[in-house]
Amino acid sequence: MADEIRALVFDVFGTVVDWRASIARQVETLARVRGLTVDGTAIADAWRGLYQPSMSAVRDGTRPFVDLDVLHRESLDALVEQHGLGSLDDADRHALVLAWHQLDAWPDVVEGLTRLKRKFILGPLSNGHVALQVGIAKHAGLPWDVILSTDLYRTYKPRPEAYQGACKLLKLAPSQVMLVAAHNNDLGSAREQGMRTGFVVRNEHGQGQVIDQKAEQDWDVIADDFVDLAKRLGA
C-alpha cells in the first residue's frame, strides 16, 4: 500500500499543531500586558467550539466564502465579554486572530515529517488559508513541499471539493494521496473521495476529550504519532 502512495496531506489544527496550549498561552500573555486576569484555556476551548459552526453557512452556500481570519475574528468578538476580554481594542483582537498563525507543533511532528519527506510529497490540507498555513510552517519549522488549503477551492472541509481539489492540484489519483488526521470524521470524508487514510492519536482537547480517542474505522494506517507513522510507511 505504501508503495502506491505518492503524497501525504495533513489536517493541521489538532493533528500537526497543539492549538489549545498555543492559543491559551498567547491569550494569557496579551491579557497580562493589558492588566487582565483570564483563563486562557477556557477561552481557547470556547473559541475552538465556534470553529465548525462558523464555517457551516459557507459550506451550505448561504454565505459567500470568507477566510478563517474573518471567521476567527467574528467568533472572538462573540465570546470576549463573557471571558473578561471585552476591553480589548481592535488591534488587540486582531493580534489574537493572528495567534492562530503561530501555533506550536506537537513534539514528534518535525522529526516525523522530516523522515516522511524522504519518501513522500508533504503538505497541509487545512481549513486555514494559505497565509495562515505559511505562518504556522515558518513558526513551527514544518518541512512542507506544498501548501494546500481549502481556501484555494473557496470552501471548507468536509466538502468533497476540498479533498478532490488537493488531488487534482498534485495531479495524482485519490488512491495515491493519504490524508493524515487525528479526526475520524475528516478521514471518513477523505475515504469517501477515494483517498487513503492515516489516523494519529492526539489529545488536543486535554483531559476532557471525549471524541477521537481512538480509530473508529479500519483506516489504512493507525499510528501513535508522526514518527510511528513514518515507520509504518517505511520512511
pLDDT of residue 43: 97
In the chain, the domains with their CATH numbers are: 2-18+103-232 (3.40.50.1000), 19-99 (1.10.150.240)
pLDDT of residue 212: 86
Supply the DSSP string of 16-46, one letter for each residue.
TB-HHHHHHHHHHHHHHHTT----HHHHHHH
pLDDT of 142 > 80? The answer is yes
pLDDT of residue 211: 85
Q: Indicate the pLDDT class of residue 207, thresholds 50, 70 and 90.
A: confident
Percent of the chain exceeding pLDDT 70 equals: 99
Here the cell at position 1 is 500500500
Output the CA angle 168-170-174, nearest 5 degrees: 60
pLDDT tens column, 26-73: 999 999 999 999 999 999 999 999 999 999 999 999 999 999 999 999
- Per-residue CA distances from 147 to 15, 38, 110, 125 (Å): 16, 35, 16, 8
Name the 3-class secondary structure at 105.
strand
pLDDT of residue 2: 66
Strand partners for 179? 9, 197
pLDDT of 166 > 80? The answer is yes
Dihedral angle over CA of 125, 147, 13, 60, nearest 10: -50
Contacts of residue 91, defined as CB under 8 A and 6 or more positions apart, other chains included, come to none
Here the cell at position 201 is 492519536
